[in-house]
Amino acid sequence: MKTIFKFIGIALFSSLFFYCSSDDNSTSNPDPDPDGEEPTEATTTLISTLSIPWELVWGPDDFLWVTERNGKISRIHPDTGEQQEVLIISNVAQVQESGLLGMVHHPNFDTNPYVYVVYTYNGSSGLLERLVRFTFDNNTLSDETILLDQIPANSIHNGSRLLITSDLHLLMTTGDAGNTDLSQNMNSLGGKILRLNLDGTIPVDNPFTGSYVYSYGHRNPQGLTFHPNGGLYSSEHGPNSDDEINQIISGKNYGWPEVKGVIDTPSEQSFAAGTEVIESIFNWTPTIAPSDLIFYTSDRIPEWTNKFLMTVLKDQRIIALTLNGDGTSITQEEIFFNREFGRLRDIAVSPTGRVFIATNGNSYGDTSATHRIIEINRIEP
């Protein structure tokens, strides 16, 4: 769905160390295929000169759009790899996992040429995050309009995935910014999924009157997508256990930091007895570091048809997930391209089913390597 419109101790620090950044080198650009024949190679490297790409979306102009954490937004030709810079946001603060992050286009881009992005900046007392809108004109983004500001941010756990719904509301994931108290605090925007009108105001039908909060109790959700059944789903980083897939329901509590994954310990059961908590529908222990999540409907790559596709950072793979009939559990997990491309940050799909991934290096915190966009042409037998 994103392709249609398109988040205190040594133990905690050690678990966080595995969760974000860079890539190796490869520089071949594929030639366009005028005859529409299947490419010879299963994968092709489109571009390999990026600086930590974070968001990758198929734009309404049939170009790939990418954000880089250093503040650059570019359009990339999906056949030649030619990169056109459309904006550098000068006041972006790139510190470890922070920087320029999520992006989404207005679904009616021809009449409303707006691009919404999230970035971190240096506030008076440390890092903060803001959601802004730019206007696209003459191959340039300009006219920055701040829609939501002073969102908690840090060098870790900033969430920042954006999604626009069919009824034209903007959803945004936020992380707990390394402060676990924020996720259960309804006066904080940290550790939440937020819902806004496209002008930045609060929708009158939000679950909590006068609040942007749509769901809460999140740690660091970095994937957000719709299933064709209308359900909303997210992928979320756990601490040293319980990376999650969640079915997101308006107004519900997802438990962090009191509940990790499912409610299966005495302390979690005690907390849940007084608070209605929604358990994850799938989880991973040990953690894998899940990032972007989309739902693939095309038959161009039949092995992935009607499955969630998720990019994975620490375990460096694409995971395909099959949802059950009523949307409440994952029935199958399949692993593809295991450790072939390094850490995988994001995934984008064209209207015809072409699949592109953005890589983030071979190890967390590696800022020296090059970073690639790779097209997946087919699954080799």
Phi-psi region of 214 (alpha: psi -120 to 50; beta: other; left: phi over 0): alpha
Q: Following DSSP, what letter does each residue of 99-142 receive, concatenated?
A: SEEEEEE-TTTTTS-EEEEEEEEEETTEEEEEEEEEEEETTEEE
Residues 6+ apart with CB under 8 A from 283: 238, 242, 243, 244, 245, 261, 262
Three-state secondary structure call for residue 95: coil
- Name the DSSP letter for residue 14: H
The values of phi and psi at residue 304, to 5°, are: -110, 0
Q: Return the residue matching tokens 């608070």.
A: 275
pLDDT tens per residue, the chain (381 residues)? 444 444 333 333 333 333 333 332 233 333 334 344 566 799 999 999 999 999 999 999 999 999 999 999 999 999 999 999 999 999 999 999 999 999 999 999 999 999 999 999 999 999 999 999 999 999 999 999 999 999 999 999 999 999 999 999 999 999 999 999 999 999 999 999 999 999 999 999 999 999 999 999 999 999 999 999 999 999 999 999 999 999 999 999 999 999 999 999 999 999 999 899 999 999 999 999 999 999 999 999 999 999 999 999 999 999 999 999 999 999 999 999 999 999 999 999 999 999 999 999 988 877 667 799 999 999 987
* Neighbour-count burial for 224-263, b at 16+ CB within 10 Å, e otherwise: bbbbeeebbbbbbbbbeebbbbbbbeeebbbbbbbbbbbb
Q: Give me the domains of the chain, ranges plus CATH numbers.
A: 10-376 (2.120.10.30)
- Residue 10 parent element (H or E): helix 10-16
Three-state secondary structure call for residue 304: helix
What pLDDT, on a 0 to 100 scale, did the predictor assign at position 366? 72
What pLDDT, on a 0 to 100 scale, did the predictor assign at position 369? 74
* Nearest Cα residue to 298 out of 64, 78, 29, 58: 58
What pLDDT, on a 0 to 100 scale, did the predictor assign at position 17? 36
Using CB atoms within 10 Å of the CB of residue 90, give its burial: 0 to 12 exposed, 13 to 18 middle, 19+ buried: exposed
- Cα–Cα distance, 259 to 281 (Å, whole number): 13
